[in-house]
Amino acid sequence: MMMRERKVRKATTNDINSIHEIEKNSIKSAWSFEQLKTAFLQENYHFCVCDDGEVLGYIGVKITFDECEIMNIAVKESERGKGIGGELIKALVEFCQQNKVSRILLEVRESNNTAITFYKRHEFHEIFKRKKYYSDGEDAVIMEQKLVSLAQE
Ligand SMILES: CC(C)(COP(=O)(O)OP(=O)(O)OC[C@H]1O[C@@H](n2cnc3c(N)ncnc32)[C@H](O)[C@@H]1OP(=O)(O)O)[C@@H](O)C(=O)NCCC(=O)NCCS
């Protein structure tokens, strides 16, 4: 079988359906199609997908001044553990370094050990816990990665 080339690229509105499909199968408090569409229209939100002809995973972030917050990240269940999440984070870090972002923040459910381990391996550190952050009462772990800017002055 021919291997299809996998790449990370900027998402377009044509990708929202595929993103939503993965989101609702991966995230407990998943964003609706409408929420994703609204975010896509905002200038400070950026979405990337990893695809090999079909969308395998995505990352969505919000940039506020020199801070980036990861709003959504997920990989299609059958495609996890193949490095796709890592490629998405790597692309984000490069994007942030070129755009004078000094830190990346995210929140993750305390019970989501897979994601917490994944983020730690990608140089995120736990900075605090937000008690009962989620609507079902679960605590959120807030994680941060500080960046050195590579932007040209
Ligand atoms: C967190 C998530 C995005 C990581 O994506 P991924 O493509 O599986 O990540 P990677 O393959 O780059 O890394 C996963 C690691 O777990 C290991 N792993 C092995 N099998 C795995 C599997 N079936 N599922 C997940 N991870 C697996 C991989 O070997 C890898 O470790 P390594 O970097 O030491 O090799 C993915 O697990 C996911 O979509 N989770 C559900 C959504 C979610 O929780 N998002 C975060 C909300 S804050």
- DSSP SS3 for 43: coil
State the pLDDT confidence band at 128, using cuts at 50, 70 and 90. Answer: very high
pLDDT in tens, 32-45: 999 999 999 999 99
Please name the residue whose Cα sits nearest to atom 20 of ligand 1: 81
Q: How far apart are CA 75 and CA 85, in angstroms?
A: 7
Q: What is the homologous superfamily of the domain 7-146 according to CATH? A: Gcn5-related N-acetyltransferase (GNAT) (3.40.630.30)
pLDDT at 53 over 90: yes
Q: 3-state DSSP call for residue 103?
A: strand
Residue 151: pLDDT over 70: no
pLDDT at 2 over 80: no
The model's pTM is: 0.93
CB proximity list for 145: less than 8 A, separation 6 or greater: 93, 103, 104, 122, 123, 124, 125
Pick the residue whose CA is nearest to atom 15 on ligand 1.
Answer: 81
Average pLDDT on 42-54 reads 97
Evaluate whether 58 touches 88 at the Cβ level (below 8 Å): yes
Kindly list the protein residues whose Cβ atom lies closer than 6 A to any atom of ligand 1.
Answer: 26-27, 57, 73-75, 80-86, 108, 112, 114-115, 118, 121
Q: Place 5 in a pLDDT band, splitting at 50, 70 and 90.
A: very high
* Domain residue ranges of the chain, discontinuous segments joined by +: 7-146
